[in-house]
Amino acid sequence: MRIVTFYEVAADAGPKIREHYPAHRARLDEFHARGVLLGAGPLGNPPEGAMAIFTTREAAEDFIKGDPFVLQGLVSKWRIVEWNAAFI
Strand-pair partners of 9: 75
60 occurs within a structural domain: yes
Percent of the chain at pLDDT exceeding 90: 91
Q: What is the DSSP letter of 29?
A: H
50 occurs within a structural domain: yes
88 occurs within a structural domain: no
pLDDT in tens, 63-73: 999 999 999 99
CATH code (residue 35): 3.30.70.1060
- In this prediction, residues 23-49 reach a mean pLDDT of 96
12 occurs within a structural domain: yes
pTM attached to this predicted model: 0.94
The total number of structural domains in the chain stands at 1
Give the pLDDT confidence score for residue 46 in this predicted structure.
86
pLDDT in tens, 71-86: 999 999 999 999 998 8
55 occurs within a structural domain: yes
52 occurs within a structural domain: yes
